[in-house]
Amino acid sequence: MLVLVLVQLRRYYFFLLEKFDKGVDMVHSEAMKAIVRRRLKLANRFWGVVLCGLCSIVSCTPRAVAALPGLTGDQISGASLWQRITVEEDFKAYPSWPDYKGIQPGQSPHGRFHRIYINPILADALPISANIAPAGSIIIKENYDPDRVVSGYTVMAKVPGYNPDAGDWFWAAYDNQGGVKMEGRPAMCIRCHSSSASDFVLLQRLDAAGADQ
């Protein structure tokens, strides 16, 4: 809708320019003509920049992410999960974890800082009274070094039947270019997250996350 309004404004703007340009020819003084044309040129530049800026804002506005169905056990791998969150979807457009937005302090084995994204399947389900994330849920931790430069990513994806003993989570770690460093059922990840009382999710209980949103 806003794009259509901008298009109409642009048409009206050029219509007025044409009228003003014809009006200049009716001015008899050459000096006055020069002044009017100079002012029209400045106005043309100004409004051209304004309209281009508005169009850029509209075109760059993030769009809502439509949730794709979760990857199945036959589909899941480190490569296919990276494809899902960077090509088929854009995890940068995912919601943040409720009440945990932006860059936050982190700890080993993740980065000194981190930012957490969750896909729409999980975001739309929160809070979850049963404390079990729905199939297809994805949690992405974007890890940063002490200088707040992205150092890698650690991802959890809920895949029904993949690993019932560990909540059916598929785990993957990537370098900052998306290269797979670890994937599947890494004992280190499972051992650490097994201390959770909420479906292997450590950050916050699923039945409390987003409860006040």
* Domain enclosing residue 164, as ranges: 78-193
- Does a structural domain hold residue 42? yes
Q: What is the rounded average pLDDT of the residues 126-143? A: 96
Confidence at residue 212, expressed as pLDDT on a 0 to 100 scale: 45
**Structural domains counted in the chain:** 2
The pTM of the full predicted model, rounded to 2 decimals, is 0.68
Cis bond before residue 109 (omega within 30° of 0): yes
- Does a structural domain hold residue 198? no
- Does a structural domain hold residue 14? yes
Cis bond before residue 98 (omega within 30° of 0): no
- Does a structural domain hold residue 70? no
Q: What is the rounded average pLDDT of the residues 48-60? A: 56
Confidence at residue 100, expressed as pLDDT on a 0 to 100 scale: 87
Confidence at residue 14, expressed as pLDDT on a 0 to 100 scale: 56
Is there a single domain that holds both residue 153 and residue 84? yes
| Alpha helices, DSSP H, located in the chain | 2-24, 30-60, 78-83, 120-125, 187-193
- Output the six-digit token pair for 43: 């106005």
Task: Please give the backbone phi and psi of residue 159, each rounded to the nearest 5 degrees, phi first.
Answer: -125, 110
The 8-class DSSP code of residue 179 comes to -
